[in-house]
Structure 1
Amino acid sequence: MFVGTVMRKIKSRTWKKQRYFRLQEDCMTIWYKSKKAGNAHSTCKYSFPLNAISRWICDWFKKADKNRDGQMNFKEVRNLLKMMNVDMNEHHALRLFTMADKSQSGTLEDDEFVLFYKMLTQREDVLRVFQEYSSDGQKLMLQDLKDFLREEQLHEDGVQQYALKLIERYEPSDTAKMLQAMTFDGFLMYLSSSEGSIFNPNMVDLYQDMTQPLCHYFISSSHNTYLLEDQIRGHSSVEGYIRALKRGCRCVEVDCWDGPNGEPIVYHGHTFTSKIFFKDVVTVLGNYAFKASQYPVILSIENHCSVEQQKVMAQHLTQILGDKLLKSPLDGKIPIGLPSPEDLKGKILLKGKKIGGLENCMNGVVDDPLMGEVSDEEDTKSKQRLSKELSDCVVYCKSVHFSSFKHSQIHSKFYEISSFTESKTRKHIREAGSEFVLHNARQLSRVYPSGLRTDSSNFNPQDMWNAGCQIVALNFQTAGVEMDLNDGLFSQNGHCGYILKPTFMRNTDERFDPENPQNRDGYKPLSLSVQVISGQQLPKVNIKEGSIIDPLVRVEIHGVPLDQAKQETRYIDNNGFNPVWHDTLQFTIHVPELALVRFVVEDYDKTSKNDFVGQFTLPFICIQPGYRHIHLLSKDGTSIPPSSLFVHVRITKLM
């Protein structure tokens, strides 16, 4: 190499040219000359430190070695990795620490730490992709990176500017930045970042039109929000409201009953659940309603109180919430349609029974032939007296009994809302799916769990979203696939709690039947191909010492019935640190606008049910194609870094 030789330089599949290369005496600088005819002076000098990463790691080691003894124990190493912004699973890191401790001293010297760091962060799967596009196997020049972004990540517009931005943002080597190049470490940092995530970062922030009528949105909704446990003996607490509102929930529920000393209470009636004061719930609502989102909160009232205590409820709502409580139509005019989330920013809407409509205001107390929470399954003739003070707090969400879709089309008002049990909702979808979708294009519907779910379990909300139901109320306190789907749907659009429904569910001139989606206008099915490549630092599910998981990955499609599907990879024996699958799973998506994709990792067990390891759920429309990382979440929806999956995704049109 000191003498020099002619080699073919390949920058991409189409750019291949001869160059004369010679290694300089410092063993770090490569000199080359173009082989173009008549060009004897075209030369360029590239200085690229071949061992820069090892020196960079050693520099960090020296910074953290406070007593200058050249050694670090595991606790010090763990703190250093945090300083270096390296995520780690402590169990896996300790195992690698022991392997790197060649001297068996219980500490790492600088060269041992370099070995430990490289073992912890080595990614052969990503390295193969890197080398496929690298001209020299050491770095991606700007053209190499552009080729990768175009061919694999399917970036089309402004590729050069985007590639330069990635180099500036993720490349740790200043020398590489000067060359407009990206080393493997920079490439790995990019793929591990939000821009390398499967979730399109452009859809994480608010991106949808928020000026449509309220009934055109799916609304994140909670059932029996006050309960932290089951429906029989569970603990009632204002903490339930705080947790739900912090998760972006925009519709919360209160069951109100007469309490002691004239103070209304909240609890699950006729059960042994504990009780809290209504005024405490309202106070929490005032304090937390707009912490996670500025868009309106709907307070769904299940009213079992006497007229006297209803007046107290109205007093608490008015005095505690003040201007946040919407008590009259916007602009003081009789509206002709529901306002938008944008119009209602910072406002709390009461959902409940109302005397008359928006067109007329009645005085005093009237008899109402329906009792409590009005649902289409109730058949009661008992009368409840409703106070004008509480009635006046209801504006755009008047609870009414549902008779039929034909009756609603003729007689219902835009500000009326009906509540359905899960079973009746499914029946309506089966028997009149397209009519239900049209009904929900005109006004709001609320769906709530069956009363038989005393364990606070949930139904599958996807079935209800398929019919355009906006307020699909779930028990937020119960983790599981149902809440994963809810969190997945509302993880887009700034976590604001409102998701704009597809056009074909908002337009009353269109007919969409979730049971027969092929019949809709604009039907364009897609093919989804997911190659599950590898996993990284998957958490242990068994605390027993020495236990190692046998991971498999399941990909689930949740959507209209025709889209419901699931496929699994094979399981990998005893490897939770860096399992490799390279298994490809194929799906057909008929209604991509409604589909959710759930990635689940489980610990395979041939004798019993597999153990849950982690999951990630996102809307199909938010998927980024190409090589992507999926950052896993725990059963309760919290992050479990650095656990992830590495996948390759392709989406193609079938028609």
Structure 2
Amino acid sequence: MLTQRVEIDRTFAEAAGSGETLSVDQLVTFLQHQQREEAAGPALALSLIEHYEPSETAKAQRQMTKDGFLMYLLSADGSAFSLAHRRVYQDMGQPLSHYLVSSSHNTYLLEDQLAGPSSTEAYIRALCKGCRCLELDCWDGPNQEPIIYHGYTFTSKILFCDVLRAIRDYAFKASPYPVILSLENHCTLEQQRVMARHLHAILGPMLLNRPLDGVTNSLPSPEQLKGKILLKGKKLGGLLPPGGEGGPEATVVSDEDEAAVMEDEAVRSRVQHKPKEDKLRLAQELSDMVIYCKSVHFGGFSSPGTPGQAFYEMASFSENRALRLLQESGNGFVRHNVGHLSRIYPAGWRTDSSNYSPVEMWNGGCQIVALNFQTPGPEMDVYQGRFQDNGACGYVLKPAFLRDPNGTFNPRALAQGPWWARKRLNIRVISGQQLPKVNKNKNSIVDPKVTVEIHGVSRDVASRQTAVITNNGFNPWRDTEFAFEVVVPDLALIRFLVEDYDASSKNDFIGQSTIPLNSLKQGYRHVHLMSKNGDQHPSATLFVKISLQD
């Protein structure tokens, strides 16, 4: 009963004609015409039979039975997410600014930003999810040991050295590519020197503390920085060590741009009514460890003939400021992001650690779009979907039109250009399988409905939903077809959302899966659903048929 799938029997019968099994030729035809497999041929067909056919007899006769066919469709080869994109397949030799980078905000928090616990566990979790940019909010602690917590709030405190040990042990478990530590430094000179000693002692050779040989006029690539940890923070002087510029310890504002300082002000006034802190000074030892990610105030986009930001300087923008810049000069922002890193972080009023949509920032070429990893929801779902691509290594190459220094792409004023490639996307939602109960009541049965959403440039954003199936989470049968038009496929993501419909209150989340359009496979596919926290549900799937045409 568990494995009986009427809709798959039907698909199998279409492929096998009157036969009980599929021959190699019939399987090749199915792979070509239905699944649109580029490598469809006898070799692929035989490898699928070898892999998924449970019957030794059928295997020996080079045939696939209905059971083998079901096993294939439920496997990674039959998944809606391209198997080829589950490994690193993109060019990793381009400058850092050409990639989107998986980045977390207030990484130390497990909950909200006013009273939640801080934990090294939060860093481990983010790193295991492929996150490559972590935030360390550093303050003076007792016994000359710097601590990390959300300043002026009641969040708990953790030792800077403990966080570094967790980072050292987990930095490269999920991905070999570089990790950026975004330092928000509020420490006195003495404790900054302690920070520098800890960084040196704990991270050792992992820490990049001088420019790579020959890489002194553009950002290095993720490939060149494999296994390295970079610091982002304030720096005295330029890329190469300064010649005694402004004395050994110049006065600088605490590490972040004005908007983050305003964020701290907002939190401070809400919590403790503390006076504004004095400007901080920067220890030379800490300054020298910042190489390719020097924090600077944003001074506007450079125009031809005026010296702009140096390639190793990066600015941070609050989400509101980034949206304003995209609105006022979308193409200027896109071009700026070809050669410079930009970091975006949530607005100061988000003390509940809620998130903004990262998609608009990515559309503008912003690389380090920091979200609260501790807060599940649609924004994190889309985030995880985007970074599931390229082997989930935390770096995704931006499309060519976002890497072109003379490009004319403007996400807020869409015109014709190389990015414009109109596609018709058809998605037939055929059935659901083993959708988990969300309500703890043991007699409750889910009433599932499916929403298919497109996230991308504003013109492509769309959402369609199926009817509700009552009292069936085991094998709800729908067969509903949706058609979408997508004009900038390189920036589009498809999100499949399954909810338990409730007439009297908010629908309960059952599962979801977000897939970049370029990683979406055509044909009969299973969409493997993720839980609210982004973990795979063991057997909850949607069975769909996907087609994509020019």
Q: Same fold (TM over 0.5)?
A: yes
1:357 aligns with 2:238: yes
Q: What is the 5 A alignment of 1:239-254? A: 239-254=121-136
Query: Displacement, 1:393?
Result: 0.4
When the two chains are superposed, the root-mean-square deviation of aligned CA atoms in Å is 1.6
Query: Displacement, 1:156?
Result: 4.2
Indicate if the aligned counterparts of 2:140 and 2:147 stay in contact, CA closer than 8 A: yes
- Structure 2: gaps (5+ residues): 263-275
Tell me the equivalent position of 2:461: 564
1:285 aligns with 2:171: no
Query: Displacement, 1:410?
Result: 2.6
Secondary structure of residue in 2 paired with 1:120: coil
1:590 aligns with 2:479: no
One-letter code of the match for 2:255? Answer: G
For residues 176 and 544 of structure 1, the distance between their equivalents in structure 2, rounded to whole angstroms, comes to 45
For residues 287 and 635 of structure 1, the distance between their equivalents in structure 2, rounded to whole angstroms, comes to 27
1:545 aligns with 2:442: yes
Q: Select which of 381, 387, 408 maps to 2:283.
A: 387
For residues 375 and 248 of structure 1, the distance between their equivalents in structure 2, rounded to whole angstroms, comes to 29
Query: Displacement, 1:420?
Result: 0.3
1:340 aligns with 2:237: no
Tell me the equivalent position of 2:357: 460
Q: What is the 5 A alignment of 1:504-543? A: 504-543=401-440
Q: Per-residue displacement from partner, 1:114-158 (whole Å, max 9, x unpaired)?
A: xxxxx1110000000100121324111222212211110112445
Tell me the equivalent position of 2:270: none
Q: Per-residue displacement from partner, 1:209-247 (whole Å, max 9, x unpaired)?
A: 000000000000011111111100010111111111111
Q: Per-residue displacement from partner, 1:138-180 (whole Å, max 9, x unpaired)?
A: 1112222122111101124451111111111111112212221
Query: Displacement, 1:342?
Result: 0.4
Tell me the equivalent position of 2:204: 322
Q: Select which of 369, 380, 404 maps to 1:472.
A: 369
Tell me the equivalent position of 1:371: 254
1:487 aligns with 2:384: yes
Query: Displacement, 1:518?
Result: 3.2
Query: Displacement, 1:368?
Result: 3.1
Secondary structure of residue in 2 paired with 1:472: strand
Q: Per-residue displacement from partner, 1:461-516 (whole Å, max 9, x unpaired)?
A: 11111111100111111111111111101111111100000000001021110123
Tell me the equivalent position of 1:555: 452
Tell me the equivalent position of 1:153: 35
1:401 aligns with 2:284: no
Q: What is the 5 A alignment of 1:53-452? A: 119-331=1-213, 333=214, 335-363=216-244, 365-375=248-258, 383-406=279-302, 410-452=307-349
One-letter code of the match for 2:458? Answer: P
Query: Displacement, 1:383?
Result: 3.1
Indicate if the aligned counterparts of 2:31 and 2:40 stay in contact, CA closer than 8 A: no
For residues 141 and 443 of structure 2, the distance between their equivalents in structure 1, rounded to whole angstroms, comes to 55
One-letter code of the match for 2:139? Answer: W
Tell me the equivalent position of 1:111: none
1:614 aligns with 2:497: no
Check 1:374–1:146 CA distance in 2 against 1; reply closer, same or farther (3 A cut): same
1:605 aligns with 2:502: yes
Indicate if the aligned counterparts of 1:529 and 1:587 stay in contact, CA closer than 8 A: yes
| Greater Rg over alpha carbons, structure | 1
Check 1:441–1:465 CA distance in 2 against 1; reply closer, same or farther (3 A cut): same
For residues 546 and 382 of structure 1, the distance between their equivalents in structure 2, rounded to whole angstroms, comes to 61
One-letter code of the match for 1:402? Answer: F
- What's the TM-score, normalizing by structure 2? 0.94
For residues 140 and 432 of structure 1, the distance between their equivalents in structure 2, rounded to whole angstroms, comes to 57
Q: Per-residue displacement from partner, 1:589-623 (whole Å, max 9, x unpaired)?
A: 11111111110001112222211111011111000
For residues 441 and 516 of structure 1, the distance between their equivalents in structure 2, rounded to whole angstroms, comes to 19
One-letter code of the match for 1:366? Answer: E
Query: Displacement, 1:334?
Result: 6.2
Tell me the equivalent position of 2:273: none
Question: Relative to structure 2, which stretch is displaced further, 141-150 or 222-231?
Answer: 141-150
For residues 492 and 459 of structure 1, the distance between their equivalents in structure 2, rounded to whole angstroms, comes to 21
For residues 512 and 280 of structure 1, the distance between their equivalents in structure 2, rounded to whole angstroms, comes to 44
Secondary structure of residue in 2 paired with 1:504: helix
Secondary structure of residue in 1 paired with 2:490: coil
Indicate if the aligned counterparts of 1:456 and 1:478 stay in contact, CA closer than 8 A: yes
For residues 366 and 63 of structure 2, the distance between their equivalents in structure 1, rounded to whole angstroms, comes to 50
One-letter code of the match for 1:488? Answer: G
Secondary structure of residue in 2 paired with 1:185: helix
One-letter code of the match for 2:196? Answer: A
Check 1:484–1:569 CA distance in 2 against 1; reply closer, same or farther (3 A cut): same
Check 1:522–1:437 CA distance in 2 against 1; reply closer, same or farther (3 A cut): closer
One-letter code of the match for 1:374? Answer: D
One-letter code of the match for 1:373? Answer: E
Check 1:140–1:445 CA distance in 2 against 1; reply closer, same or farther (3 A cut): same
Question: Relative to structure 2, which stretch is displaced further, 521-530 or 217-226?
Answer: 521-530
Indicate if the aligned counterparts of 1:554 and 1:567 stay in contact, CA closer than 8 A: yes
Secondary structure of residue in 2 paired with 1:425: helix
Q: Per-residue displacement from partner, 1:84-143 (whole Å, max 9, x unpaired)?
A: xxxxxxxxxxxxxxxxxxxxxxxxxxxxxxxxxxx1110000000100121324111222
Question: Relative to structure 2, which stretch is displaced further, 530-539 or 398-407?
Answer: 398-407
| Percent identity (aligned) | 54
Indicate if the aligned counterparts of 1:536 and 1:578 stay in contact, CA closer than 8 A: yes
One-letter code of the match for 2:233? Answer: G
Indicate if the aligned counterparts of 1:397 and 1:415 stay in contact, CA closer than 8 A: yes
Q: Which has the higher contact order (CA 8 A, sep 6+)?
A: 2
Indicate if the aligned counterparts of 1:376 and 1:402 stay in contact, CA closer than 8 A: no
- Structure 1: gaps (5+ residues): 1-118
Indicate if the aligned counterparts of 2:31 and 2:37 stay in contact, CA closer than 8 A: yes
